[in-house]
Every structure is written in structure tokens, then in C-alpha cells.
Amino acid sequence: EVQLQASGGGLVQAGGSLRLACAASGFTFDEYAIGWFRQAPGKEREGVSYITSTDGSTRYADSVKGRFTISHDKAKNTVYLQMNSLKPEDTAVYFCAADSPLVGFTSLRDYEYDYWGQGTQVTVSS
């Protein structure tokens, strides 16, 4: 069974950086996508970014483009989300999730994802 472990959250001042990590294991299929989602109090869960195992395709939500970068270390089975120029509105619990097996293409819609890790809190102070 696919298991995902998110880590790296914390408290940072506006303008600062954090790197989240999602350690993944248990994939039966080689084709999958790992996505990052976030949920702030009182708000719906929002897709932030994803990366595919097949060709490394990535996608970002408009709200994080140019500030966040997703990457995949296949040797470590870990997906990273580098978050720079953080803003108070980035405060949320961040989750990683897996779309496995990946058939065709995926999206930033949470219903596309089959497996979810626990969240990690990111708090950006103003």
C-alpha cells in the first residue's frame, strides 16, 4: 500500500523560506503523480502543485507560481516543495497525496488522488 509522510513545516516570517518533504513508499505502479495540497482554517482544500514520475511534468496553482518549486528525488522516493517568498496567506496545513496509477494526466483537483499523507503545519507570520 502506498504510504506518504510529509515533513518540514514550521513557523517562518513573511518573506522567508521553507522546504517540505514527502517521503513515499509502496507504489505498485511506476507511473504516479505526487501532489501538494493545503487547507487553511475555514477554507477548502487547495491544490498547490504536482509532479509526475513519468516525465517530471509539473503544475502550480496561480497563487504560488514563481515562489514555489516542486522536485522529485527518485533515488530517495521523496518529493520536495521549496517555498520561497512566503506570505501570511500561505499559512495552512500542507498535505502530500499520490495519484497512483497515473493514467494519462492528472490535475490539482483533490479527487484525482488516491492516497494521502498526514499534514504538516506551515505558519507564516507578518
| Burial zone of 112 (CB within 10 Å; 0-12 exposed, 13-18 middle, 19+ buried) | middle
For residues 108 and 94, what is the distance between their CA atoms, to the nearest angstrom? 14
- Sheet with 68-73, side-by-side order of all strands: 3-7, 18-25, 78-83, 68-73
The three three-digit cell numbers of residue 2, written as one number: 502506498
pLDDT in tens, the chain (126 residues): 999 999 999 999 999 999 999 999 998 888 899 999 999 999 999 999 999 999 999 999 999 999 999 999 999 999 999 999 999 999 999 999 999 888 877 889 999 999 999 999 999 999
The pLDDT value recorded for residue 30 is 85
Rounded CA-CA distance 90/79 in Å is 19
CA neighbor of 64 nearest in space, from 42, 92, 33: 92
Residue 65, classed as helix, strand or coil, is: coil
User: Which single residue is written with the C-alpha cell 516570517?
Assistant: 13
